[in-house]
């Protein structure tokens, strides 16, 4: 029998309205879970005072240094005792889902049973890093809860200055735009770095995200230290019969206004017979026309990935988007995957050795310059890496002849 519920007049106002209510869910759990009764008490207090009352600490599982988010209440009376003692410890286990966040119902039911036994019964599908968040666990129950989840085949994700849980889009499993095996790529990148995930010792967090095409549904350019984005380098594919059908159905004006003139590099032209001409060398693989006419247009056959490095949010120098470090690489054969795995290891090692404390890769590259970074990890320069050449003369260029010779050599080698 659970303890008596606290009054929650503020939270109660989040039970009305058409969107599913997490408060109703918390209250249902509280009917037979004392931790949830007191969690509601503390949360209601936060709503009243507009203050948070959790502090971190050190809670973990045997063998790992991270992956648990410890939370201890700071809401205490004058006697130092927790005002909501049943929720005085409210830790989270971050558990990595399968790529693409696919599940069969039995797996999720088993997870629910484990969490009913050891935790509060509250699970987030999913946190912002892509973990399943098992929220609300006492210190004593963290280990047994992890053990059972681990026996199911699931492992802890990342937290702190460590490789973080990766994300990949639905991709090849259900999307015609997939240019790469996203799940295999993400899984390889993360599983290659598990030591740096589970024993946090990096300067700061490091994130891998994988999107199967330049629509970048995983926001990798904005959020990943190493963004892997599917693309292709031959001509995009055009089914002219389907183009004609599209024009016949939607009309020429719609096609011109919403496809032809929307092309960022003016690579499209609608012919008099309602077929489509594509200037493929001008195409930047933005995906817009393919998104709009997905039955008529599709990515080419010579698929691969573009790699970008350094995306992150505000702390400390401001928001950064990732920038190109590999314009194109194939990612089909086992050897291709090994090449990427080796490169990712180089980048992670370089970051571990050269970043300052609490510095992300984007900030490190900003500080040392892209060329130093590329040389450090063994990558060739490429004009696809820049928006435009430098606009100021403040650079020492007495190595020009050698560099120009390298370019000539590079051209001959191609």
CA angle 140, 144, 145 (to 5 degrees): 100
Q: E-assigned strands of 190-296?
A: 208-211, 226-232, 237-238, 268-270, 276-278
**Interacting stretch for another protein, rule CB under 8 A, among 63-71, 77-85, 344-352, 399-407?**
63-71
Question: Do the beta carbons of residue 71 and residue 90 sit within 8 Å?
Answer: yes
Applying CB under 8 A, which of residues 2, 5, 83, 217 lies at the interface with another protein?
Answer: 217
> Scanning residues 342 to 381, which ones bind another protein (CB under 8 A)?
357-358
* C-beta of 284 vs 405, nearer to another protein: 284
68 sits in which H/E element? strand 68-69
Q: How far is the CB of 331 from another protein (least distance, A)?
A: 12
């973080």: which residue's tokens? 164
Using an 8 Å Cβ cutoff, are 301 and 234 in contact? yes
Q: Which residue among 2, 5, 83, 124 contacts another protein (CB under 8 A)? A: 124
Q: Which of 59, 86, 122, 268 binds another protein (CB under 8 A)?
A: 122
CB of 408 to another protein, least distance (A): 31
From residue 91 to residue 110, the character string flagging contacts with another protein as x (rule: CB under 8 A) and all else as - is -x---xxxxxxxxxxxxxx-
Q: Kindly provide the residue ranges of all beta strands, DSSP E only, lying in 126-282, ordered along the sequence.
A: 132-137, 167-168, 208-211, 226-232, 237-238, 268-270, 276-278
Tokens of 338: 């090994």
CA 54 to chain centre: 26
Report the nearest approach of another protein to the CB of residue 87 (Å): 11
Task: Identify which range of 312-320, 338-346, 368-376, 404-412 contacts another protein by CB under 8 A.
Answer: 312-320
Nearest CA among 373, 386, 381, 226 for reference residue 306: 226
Is 64 a residue that touches another protein (CB under 8 A)? yes
CB of 385 to another protein, least distance (A): 14
Which residues are CB-neighbours of 52 under 8 A, at least 6 positions away? 46
To the nearest whole angstrom, how small is the minimum distance from the Cβ of residue 114 to another protein? 10
Residue of 41, 89, 94, 115 that binds another protein (CB under 8 A): 115
> d(Cα 297, Cα 294) in Å, to the nearest integer?
5
Q: Is 6 in the site for another protein (CB under 8 A)?
A: no
> For residue 105, what is the enclosing H or E element?
helix 105-118
Which one among 6, 207, 223, 360 touches another protein, defined by CB under 8 A? 223
Under rule CB under 8 A, which residues in 379-408 are in contact with another protein? none
Among 41, 183, 203, 310, binds another protein (CB under 8 A): 183
- Cα dihedral: 377, 378, 381, 387 (round 10): -20
Secondary structure class of 326 (helix, strand, coil): strand
Nearer to another protein, 195 or 375 (CB): 195
Return the range that interacts with another protein (CB under 8 A); candidates 122-130, 272-280, 335-343, 404-412. Answer: 122-130
62 binds another protein (CB under 8 A): yes
């Amino acid at each position: 029998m659970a303890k008596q519920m606290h009054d929650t007049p503020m939270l109660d106002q989040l039970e009305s309205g058409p969107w599913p209510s997490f408060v109703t869910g918390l209250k249902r759990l509280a009917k037979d879970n004392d931790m949830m009764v007191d969690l509601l008490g503390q949360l209601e207090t936060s709503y009243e005072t507009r203050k948070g009352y959790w502090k971190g600490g050190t809670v973990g599982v045997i063998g790992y240094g991270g992956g648990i988010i410890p939370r201890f209440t700071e809401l205490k009376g004058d006697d130092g005792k927790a005002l909501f003692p049943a929720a005085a410890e409210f830790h989270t286990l971050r558990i990595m889902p399968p790529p693409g966040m696919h599940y069969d119902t039995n797996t999720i039911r088993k997870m629910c049973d484990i969490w009913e036994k050891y935790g509060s019964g509250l699970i987030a599908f999913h946190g912002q890093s892509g973990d399943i968040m098992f929220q609300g666990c006492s210190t004593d129950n963290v280990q047994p809860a992890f053990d059972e989840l681990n026996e199911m085949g699931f492992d802890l994700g990342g937290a702190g200055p460590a490789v973080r849980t990766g994300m990949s889009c639905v991709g090849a499993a259900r999307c015609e735009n997939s240019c790469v095996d996203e799940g295999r790529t993400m899984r390889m990148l993360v599983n290659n770095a598990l030591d740096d995930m589970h024993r946090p010792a990096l300067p700061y967090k490091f994130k891998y995200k994988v999107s199967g095409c330049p629509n970048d549904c995983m926001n990798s350019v904005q959020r990943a230290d190493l963004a892997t984005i599917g693309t292709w380098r031959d001509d995009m594919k055009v089914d002219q019969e389907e183009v004609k059908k599209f024009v016949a159905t939607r009309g020429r004006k719609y096609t011109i206004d919403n496809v032809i003139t929307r092309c960022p590099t003016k690579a499209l032209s609608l012919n008099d017979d309602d077929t489509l001409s594509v200037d493929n060398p001008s195409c930047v693989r933005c995906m817009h026309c393919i998104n709009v006419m997905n039955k008529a247009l599709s990515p080419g056959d010579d698929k691969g990935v573009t790699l970008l490095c350094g995306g992150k949010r505000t702390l400390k120098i401001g928001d950064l988007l990732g920038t190109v470090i590999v314009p194109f690489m194939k990612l089909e054969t086992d050897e291709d995957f090994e090449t990427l795995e080796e490169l990712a290891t180089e980048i992670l090692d370089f970051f571990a050795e050269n970043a300052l404390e609490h510095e992300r890769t984007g900030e490190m590259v900003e500080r040392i310059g892209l060329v130093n970074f590329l040389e450090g990890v063994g990558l060739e320069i490429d004009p696809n890496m820049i928006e435009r050449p430098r606009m100021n003369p403040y650079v020492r260029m007495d190595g020009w002849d050698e560099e120009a010779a390298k370019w000539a050599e590079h051209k001959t080698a191609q």
